[in-house]
Structure 1
Amino acid sequence: MLAGLFGSRTFLDPDIEEWHLGTWGVLTERFGAELSLAETPLALPTRDFFPPTDQTGHGKALHVFGCVRSILKMTEADWPCRLEAQPRRMTGERVSEFVAIGGGSDPDGTFRIEAGEAVITYAPDLLDDPMSLVATLAHEMAHYLLAAESDLVEDETHELMTDLAVAYAGLGVFGANAAFSFEQHGDAFSQGWRSRSSGYLSPRSWAFALAVFGELRGDDRGMETYLKPGIEGLRRQAVKYLRKNPELLTGLRPAG
């Protein structure tokens, strides 16, 4: 009732929503020529984007990395980059004889420039979680994309902008699904819970980003099939909100 009296509520906190839409404008202005939103496909966890491979270990990571690079159109010739595995990390902190709680603070991936070459690292345990592996590699490559834009790199919202660049580049389904996961595990000797967060945007922000991407493209390519139910529910709410407020996307739609 109050919403009816005082106008419609925003989907996100007003300041955050303003930042989202403003950042879409910045990304379009800076990278529209290289990554035209009108031509950017929505990458999905299918064979079309990620052909199967017999590779294991680091070879598998290199295969997935090659697929991510192809989606982003960031070729080795123009974007020299080296992929390295991090030391294997310990997970599953035991708090009693029979209970363990997992979920550490070690990063899933890192990015740095070394002697003119980008170096990206990934946590080896991500090889057992392809969705998170793709999300991590996409996030680190988005760092590379933004690296030449000094004002964006120095911005205090840089990490958030990097996540949004992943959505802008068509890999948002992976980032959204990896945003947060929580699962119970156990065996005959112990039980526990494992949580993992990936990236910096909240699940609600990811849902909004996916809704913006789909509305600007005029096609969501059936992403609902591949999104976690919680994320998909939020995305549908965001789509409904954007369609009730079309002026929010004025000036962001691809020309033509």
Structure 2
Amino acid sequence: MTMMLAKLFGARTFLDPEVEQWHLDVWATLIERFNEGRSFADTPVALPTRDFFPPTEATGHAKAEHVFDCVKAIMRMPDWPCVLEPQPRRTTGQQVAQFVHIAGDEAPNGTFRVEPDGVVVITYARDLLDDPMALVATLAHELSHYLLASEADLVEDETHELMTDLTVAFAGLGVFGANSAFSFEQHGDAFSQGWRSRSSGYLSPRSWAFALAVFGELRGDDGGMANYLKPEIEGLRRQAVKYLRKKPELLGHLRPVEAGSQARS
């Protein structure tokens, strides 16, 4: 009955009400802690282009370091001291029949830690070098951990990992996070066939779409992200944008107050 009413009259919220409120509360916190005095118009919409990721002839770990430096620059963290390390190669795959394998990645794509001597270390899975979109998403997620690490209450929050994903969108790298949120594909050759799934991050695709819509509305434009998002994510994002424009009060408290408005109040 609830689904039927939603189809007839339209859903009252884009996400579950509690989840949607959590999103908006986290945006308010991130703006208060990390965006004071800045305009979202100054935050770039990072895209998989040469403008953000100049070409390099580097290979292996040197290539990862090049991408890492690009992500740090986008996140306004170029001088934050940090060591980047590759993880041991992952072995995945489970044979369930003579020619059928089901493969899934259980090892983390990346990790963040602070050593006893204060050195910050971020790691990444080596196989991500063959998946630049996921590599960028992973490095942005781990750098978001670094950004949030200075705020004890945020680190201790039970939704910290979800908040870390949302910080990726806040920092302008949401296209990479959203596109890497989940993928499912069939593979096969003359000797085997199977299915491979990979998830990256913690937000659902619908939550990513909402986060991208919020970011674009606060920024004033989508920065061309529509041309680089997976079709299913872009479709959800457009729905979220339409929803937010019908309910401008949802983002009203997140927008900067104009100086003239302050003077009149």
Q: CA deviation at 1:182?
A: 0.7
Per the alignment, residue 197 of structure 1 pairs with 199
Per the alignment, residue 151 of structure 2 pairs with 149
Residues 122-147 of structure 1: CA distance to partner in whole angstroms, max 9, x if unpaired? 00000000000000000000000000
Question: Structure 1: how far apart are the matches of 2:17 and 2:216?
Answer: 21
C-alpha contact (below 8 Å) 2:145/2:164 kept by paired residues? yes
* Count of aligned pairs between the two proteins: 254
User: Which TM-score applies when normalising by structure 2?
Assistant: 0.92
- Which runs of 5 or more structure 1 residues have no equivalent in the other structure? none
- Are 2:19 and 1:20 equivalent residues in the alignment? no
1:1-256 correspondence runs (5 A):
2-3=5-6, 9-33=12-36, 36-76=39-79, 79-114=80-115, 115-256=117-258
Structure 2 letter corresponding to 1:70? A
Q: Secondary structure at the match of 1:196?
A: strand
Question: Structure 2: how far apart are the matches of 1:248 and 1:112?
Answer: 36
Q: 1:4 to 1:54 in 2, by over 3 A?
A: closer
Q: CA deviation at 1:238?
A: 0.3
C-alpha contact (below 8 Å) 1:38/1:254 kept by paired residues? no
Question: Structure 1: how far apart are the matches of 2:123 and 2:45?
Answer: 25
C-alpha contact (below 8 Å) 1:207/1:235 kept by paired residues? yes
Question: Structure 1: how far apart are the matches of 2:200 and 2:109?
Answer: 7
CA RMSD of aligned residues (A): 1.6
Question: Structure 2: how far apart are the matches of 1:169 and 1:234?
Answer: 20
Per the alignment, residue 262 of structure 2 pairs with none
C-alpha contact (below 8 Å) 1:35/1:169 kept by paired residues? no
Q: 1:5 to 1:229 in 2, by over 3 A?
A: closer
Question: Structure 2: how far apart are the matches of 1:74 and 1:26?
Answer: 19
Question: Structure 1: how far apart are the matches of 2:256 and 2:227?
Answer: 25
Residues 164-185 of structure 1: CA distance to partner in whole angstroms, max 9, x if unpaired? 0000000000000000001111
Structure 2 letter corresponding to 1:92? G
- Which runs of 5 or more structure 2 residues have no equivalent in the other structure? 259-265
Residues 200-226 of structure 1: CA distance to partner in whole angstroms, max 9, x if unpaired? 000000000000000111110121110
Residues 102-122 of structure 1: CA distance to partner in whole angstroms, max 9, x if unpaired? 112110000000121210000
Structure whose alpha-carbon radius of gyration is higher? 2
Question: Structure 2: how far apart are the matches of 1:117 and 1:170?
Answer: 26
Q: CA deviation at 1:75?
A: 2.1
Q: Secondary structure at the match of 2:232?
A: helix
C-alpha contact (below 8 Å) 1:142/1:166 kept by paired residues? yes
Q: Secondary structure at the match of 1:38?
A: helix
Question: Structure 1: how far apart are the matches of 2:162 and 2:15?
Answer: 15
